[in-house]
Amino acid sequence: MDREEMLGREDEAWQRFAETVSAVPAERRDVEGVVPGWTVHDLVWHVGYWAGFAGDVIERDRAGETDPEPAEPEEAEVLETGRGMSWDEVVRRAEECRDRVRAAFSSSPDPGDTAVRWFNEDTFAHYDEHTAEIRAFVA
């Protein structure tokens, strides 16, 4: 799959994710159980955070850093950060992280294996995984 196809898959998967998230009733956003111990609020931040992290990796890879993949933070730290934000801020920042990863991947003249792997795993594959979980939670 080439870069344009991957960007298209990302866009389609994000649209499904965003539509699913927007359909969650406000009173269910902070209810645990979408995955064990997590809320939809947590999941939106988790997805956004990792898309942004992938964007950072892709940018470092494009810059030629010999080790573009830094140590990953503990998921508990990521969730704690998200839990300190309002719903609107989590959604806005997740969208900004999504924009960052798309920009990084789009501007790579010839994305290598690292960029392709991070983009695939932390965008459309990740969005689809959590879209299904949210849909099951609100069904």
DSSP structure class, residue 109: S
- Please tell me the distance from the alpha carbon of residue 31 to that of residue 134, in angstroms, as a whole number: 12
- How many domains, the chain? 1
Q: Supply the angle between the helices 113-122 and 40-62 in degrees, to the nearest 10.
A: 170
DSSP structure class, residue 65: -
Expressed as residue numbers, the domain containing 109 is 3-138
Give per-residue pLDDT as tens, 83-136: 999 999 999 999 999 999 999 999 988 888 999 999 999 999 999 999 999 999
Domain containing residue 90: CATH number: 1.20.120.450
Give per-residue pLDDT as tens, 16-38: 999 999 999 999 999 999 999 99
